[in-house]
Structure 1
Amino acid sequence: MLDFLVTLPRPIKRHILLLIDVFLVPLSLMIALVFLFDTAPAGELIWAALPLFLITPILATPVFMRIGLNRIKLMAFEAHDMRRGAFAALSVAILTAGIRYLFGLDIPHAVALLTGPIFLLLHFGLRTLGRNLLVRRLNDGSGRIPVAIYGAGSAGVQLLAALRQDLQMRPITFVDDNVTFQSMTVSGMQVCSRSGLEALVKKGRIKRVLLAMPSVSEPKMRRMTQELSELGCEVHALPTYSELVEGTGLASNLRPVTPDRLLGRDKVDLETAEVARTYAGRRVLITGAGGSIGSELCRQIILRAPHRVTLLDHSEYALYTISRELAPLALMHGVELVTRLGSVCDRHRMSNVIAESEIDIVLFAAAYKHVPLVEENEIEGLRNNLFGTLTTAEAAQQAGVERFILISTDKAVRPTNIMGASKRLAELAIQDLQTRSEVTKFAMVRFGNVLGSSGSVIPLFQDQIAAGGPITLTHDKITRYFMTISEAARLVLLAGAYATGGDVFVLDMGAPVNIRDLARRMVELTGLTVRDEDNPHGDIDIQTVGLRPGEKLYEELLIGNNMLSTPHEKIMRAEEGRLSQIEMARILKQIRTAIAANDPAALRAIIKANVDGFHVAETGLDDVV
């Protein structure tokens, strides 16, 4: 029953809460009269108070709505929300007294005095009960990381409140060195000593410790982190108070380095009504669902209330991991979740997956994306990125899918590597397919480097910083456009909403970021310093090791300067040259022949002759899409 109520739309939940509060008004009156039964016969009292039972709930309803009593989320019901309840109780008491006076009812004055407090007790009791049931339901959810909060002070209590609504972590206990706190209960959770924490870690009941002591000095924090890490669990530190002021919340600031803080610009708001309308009630297929972008697309799409989400990936482990993570979220939002193993290059498999799930929208995130690896594996790179895209797109077209959105990259613009060239060819193939498609709308989303994606520069730099350095750069002057994973996923969803057929969408991502500056910022955000000529005693050294094959210093988002606006001021639609159907067929035939002959040299010659701007780079670091 509780699972059913949780999945209801928010407007219905609000109406249910309002009905409950309105029902509490006559119930409070009845309880108040019960206390006064010794002053007059019960029947006479109830009959005399009948106008109160009829009129008070009616008058109280608009008052409750004005107060917003039904707009308080149960999971967020805290002490400061009690003021609304108290005002509602006072309103009930005033209404009761006013109606008694206007109608001259022959009932004791104490009815009005008792009704308000009784209503308040019932209101608080039911809201607290509902909140506790939701907390228990959330805490019983599988897949959440069991954590201990080190520090039972105000920061720890605030962190606990945030984590009780988090789908990733489950708070188990407080830990505090203050013996007066130990064995106490704070905000409903037990406080234990460090030895108690050690026992919980050994039993496997704690996987991560969150240090909620933002005022502790940096040296002491490092020492505690080292000591706790030796217990065999992860240790994350809460930022300082000054850092929290700049952030968005306690739970979101627990990562060692938050990619958003390295963006160098304000995040782009991509929440629009078009996105909600496009995906609500639809059946969506996400290829490459276990990857960085694919998994974030899965999370974002579930929040848009589709009917069914089908996850496809060729990696069993990646598909298992993302499906296990998404199962509770999908259940909470009433979304059917389907998992399918398979390769996008397998035409028969893709046709079956699309048909059996009756797919309306395909979000194509499957790709080989790491520049150096694809540079050494040209055959497989082209087979997967070009023909995997084309195979799935043709299957979608034959099935009458409404929309097909290809995730591309800025490396497709005048590419200097096989990965970029393969994505540009995939774009051209999709645009060619659009000319013969009467039902399916094909579109491409082209964006820059994604902060924190698999193989990206942030995890690499984090590992190097954790190891004590050095941080390795390919070139001092290398720059890249950056966006967050959340921005990337929402841009894909928005492109699906705006697609008219053959579109190439790009995001205005501001100025490119210098990678050396990014590395320095990451070092400083961890509380360390860069070792250089000005600071020879710094903590982390930054070294330049030379460019890798296929990289270039600067990336571009557009091949030309022809851009059209969209309903969103930060989203642009690029107008670029396309190939004719005959030209595209010739190129695809040549590439198939080169792949069949396992001839990388011939493959590179075909790309050089047919991909606009393709050249061998002489001068890039890659934080890939």
Structure 2
Amino acid sequence: MKRLSRSALVLLFDLLAACAAWVATYFLRFNFEWPAEYQAQIAFGLLVLLPVHAIVCTRAGLYRGIWVFASLPDLARVLRAVAISSLAVWAFVALYRGAPGVPRSTLILYPMLLVLIMAGGRAAYRMWKEHRLYGGLIAKGKPVVVVGAGRGGAMLLRELQRSPDWRVIGLVDDDAEKWGRELLGLPVLGPVKALPEILVAERVEHVILAMPSAATKVRRAATDLAVRAGAKVFTVPGLEDVMAGRVAVSSIRRVDIEDLLGREPVWIDTPHVEAMLKDKVVLVTGAGGSIGSELCHQLARFAPRRVVLYELNEFALYNVEQWFSSHAPGIDVVPLAGDVKDAARLAEVFAAWRPEVVFHAAAYKHVPLMEVANAWQAVRNNVLGTLRVGEAAQRHGAERFILISTDKAVNPTNVMGASKRLAELVCQALHQRAQGTQFEMVRFGNVLGSTGSVIPKFQEQIARGGPITVTHPEINRYFMSIPEAAQLVLQAAAMGQGGEIFVMDMGDPVKIVDLARNMIRLSGYSEEEIRIEFTGLRPGEKLYEELLADSEETRETPHPKLRIARSVPAASSFLAELAGWFAQKDCLGDDEVRRALLRWVPEYVPMGGRPALRIVESESKLARVGDRA
């Protein structure tokens, strides 16, 4: 009822607008003097125009919009309605036979005045309503500078002007043509590089990034400028949310370290990946881990017939199974508890479910933990587990087997890295058997938010008031997001022909001490408040990570973020020797494990072995990285 009454009022306004426009047409035609001899013509014209105008406006959808949000689509409806209703004027002029004749100027003046009154009335109502609702907020809220004067910035400004929490001082943008101009009544104060000076001059302590389409490096540079100036930095959602008009003040959040380390969006050859996965049975080992679970999430996009989740950790298995129940209920999911070293359980699983594509993500990955008192378990899990899953895949006719490897397999200095390199050799040796299963390996570095990542550790240390512990002032690492890593794994799996080691483009290495400093600033502290302490390299830890061993060559692939490494394959007797080694019942000590790894992985140099050479190599590598930067 309330909606009907409002629509009736709007219709009444439009009819009054038509009356006013028709009468005003004659006033303008006769220089604002009332033409008494035309009174009958004016009245008769209204009898014709008003019913037509009422019908046209109703059919044009003018009464579905909300005036307080009147915008360009509403203007388009008004123009369409006026254009159609103006045809009645043409008909009236052509058919009216009374005296005096209808002035020809009505053909132009009437539609112009009608548009002005109908559109202007709606705009005036919106301005009055917004001033009534939000006008009192203009001088309130925290002062803020918005970075980005594009479409995203404009949409954000509309929201901020209605919020009691923010008061926009102005904007900055690198487009010189916008400097000194205004966006929604607010000045564009200058380029992004002038942000520190603007913050000081305007006494502003808050910055909001509204550059959803800008490159990651640009957003990172703007954040760094603001943080160094002591400002708290916020950001808005991604491009698709902004451009779809879903930006709201409630969506604004503090910039976090993942934003600074963010990488450009990844594209994958979706049809190619879909051809590999659609209607297939897919097995994921380590399905509850950081990489395994994200692989499962990505797999769901490609409509596999069934996803078999193989996981040792009960709670992790439950979590990923529940994710499918909530987000992909149409996919048949089989959650199975099991150990990748358990040959009998693997035989049962492969025989029952016949997976066609296997992603082997199960692994021990924490370098220092695996280095001391756990070396034998690391090798058994990472190497023997790979061997047993790979053999089961071959015996039961799987089409593809994809090993999730690591950059720590390159020139390894720790047991974990050497064990993953040995796992790669296992896959290459299994592929050489030519029993139908394609074996492919994908290497990448640290992923943001993964289990054991340095970022959650730093966050916890900051929450406790510090200090932040960094092992070495020169240590650096590559970082990428978990979704990016998972997508590139799928892309590599789809393009592989068998036996390849795919290497991901990890971008530029990040100094861990710089990471710590940025996290301190983003948390609103200074280094005087949260100290950084250097604790020394941990067992098996490198100063830098590599993605390719010195003896390897690479070749390009059709995907810009993937290359293929050529490495020396294992000897023909390798698998038999390895199986015999694992057949012993006794647990081996750390030193025995390292001696065995040295035999099979010649590039492995344990920490403490040839230390001078390692230091020289590390310094040389860091110098090369500095030169590139």
Alignment of 1:38-117 (within 5 A): none
Relative to structure 1, is the Cα distance of residues 245 and 581 closer, same or farther in structure 2, using a 3 angstrom cutoff? same
Alignment of 1:309-320 (within 5 A): 309-320=307-318
2:344 is aligned with 1:345: no
SS in 2 for 1:528: coil
Instruction: Read off the aligned partner of 2:293 and give its amino acid letter.
Output: S
Determine the structure 1 residue equivalent to 2:352. Answer: 356
Instruction: Read off the aligned partner of 1:311 and give its amino acid letter.
Output: L
Alignment of 1:163-202 (within 5 A): none
Determine the structure 2 residue equivalent to 1:294. Answer: 292
Relative to structure 1, is the Cα distance of residues 309 and 252 closer, same or farther in structure 2, using a 3 angstrom cutoff? farther
- 2:401–2:439: 8 Å Cα contact kept in structure 1? yes
Match of 2:520 among 516, 520, 523: 523
- 1:450–1:456: 8 Å Cα contact kept in structure 2? yes
Relative to structure 1, is the Cα distance of residues 546 and 241 closer, same or farther in structure 2, using a 3 angstrom cutoff? closer
Instruction: Read off the aligned partner of 2:577 and give its amino acid letter.
Output: R
- 2:285–2:310: 8 Å Cα contact kept in structure 1? yes
1:589-615 CA distance string (max 9 Å, x none): 23443x635344322211112212111
2:540 is aligned with 1:541: no
Aligned residues: 414
What is the Cα-based RMSD across aligned positions, in Å?
Answer: 4.1
2:500 is aligned with 1:503: yes
Determine the structure 2 residue equivalent to 1:259. Answer: 258
Instruction: Read off the aligned partner of 1:412 and give its amino acid letter.
Output: A
Match of 2:563 among 542, 553, 572: 572
1:563 offset after TM fit, Å? 0.6
1:585 offset after TM fit, Å? 2.2
Relative to structure 1, is the Cα distance of residues 152 and 476 closer, same or farther in structure 2, using a 3 angstrom cutoff? closer
Determine the structure 1 residue equivalent to 2:322. Answer: 324
How many angstroms apart in 2 are the aligned matches of 1:401 and 1:438? 10
- 2:257–2:522: 8 Å Cα contact kept in structure 1? no
Match of 2:393 among 368, 393, 396: 396
SS in 2 for 1:303: helix
Instruction: Read off the aligned partner of 1:341 and give its amino acid letter.
Output: A
SS in 2 for 1:243: strand
Instruction: Read off the aligned partner of 1:463 and give its amino acid letter.
Output: E
- 1:590–1:606: 8 Å Cα contact kept in structure 2? no
Determine the structure 2 residue equivalent to 1:478. Answer: 475
Relative to structure 1, is the Cα distance of residues 394 and 584 closer, same or farther in structure 2, using a 3 angstrom cutoff? closer
How many angstroms apart in 1 are the aligned matches of 2:377 and 2:252? 39
2:603 is aligned with 1:613: yes
SS in 1 for 2:302: coil
Instruction: Read off the aligned partner of 2:407 and give its amino acid letter.
Output: D
Gaps of 5+ in 2: 1-59, 61-67, 88-139, 145-162, 166-202, 207-226, 242-246, 609-614, 619-629
Instruction: Read off the aligned partner of 1:590 and give its amino acid letter.
Output: W
Instruction: Read off the aligned partner of 1:556 and give its amino acid letter.
Output: E
1:164-202 CA distance string (max 9 Å, x none): xxxxxxxxxxx999xxxxxxxxxxxxxxxxxxxxxxxxx
1:54-83 CA distance string (max 9 Å, x none): xxxxxx9xxxxxxxxxxxxxxxxxx98997
1:268-299 CA distance string (max 9 Å, x none): 51332322332222221111111111111111
- 1:330–1:337: 8 Å Cα contact kept in structure 2? no
- Larger of the two Rg values belongs to structure: 2
How many angstroms apart in 1 are the aligned matches of 2:255 and 2:367? 27
Determine the structure 2 residue equivalent to 1:11. Answer: none
Relative to structure 1, is the Cα distance of residues 152 and 419 closer, same or farther in structure 2, using a 3 angstrom cutoff? same
Determine the structure 1 residue equivalent to 2:126. Answer: none
- 2:237–2:251: 8 Å Cα contact kept in structure 1? no
- 1:397–1:437: 8 Å Cα contact kept in structure 2? no
Identity within the alignment, % = 44
1:362 offset after TM fit, Å? 0.9
Q: Compute the TM-score of the two structures, normalised by the length of structure 2.
A: 0.58
SS in 1 for 2:531: strand
SS in 2 for 1:444: strand
Instruction: Read off the aligned partner of 2:292 and give its amino acid letter.
Output: G
SS in 2 for 1:337: strand
1:461-506 CA distance string (max 9 Å, x none): 0100111100001111111111111111111111111111011001
Gaps of 5+ in 1: 1-59, 61-78, 99-150, 156-174, 178-214, 219-238, 531-537, 621-625
Instruction: Read off the aligned partner of 1:323 and give its amino acid letter.
Output: E
Q: Compute the TM-score of the two structures, normalised by the length of structure 1.
A: 0.59
Determine the structure 1 residue equivalent to 2:627. Answer: none
Instruction: Read off the aligned partner of 1:466 and give its amino acid letter.
Output: A
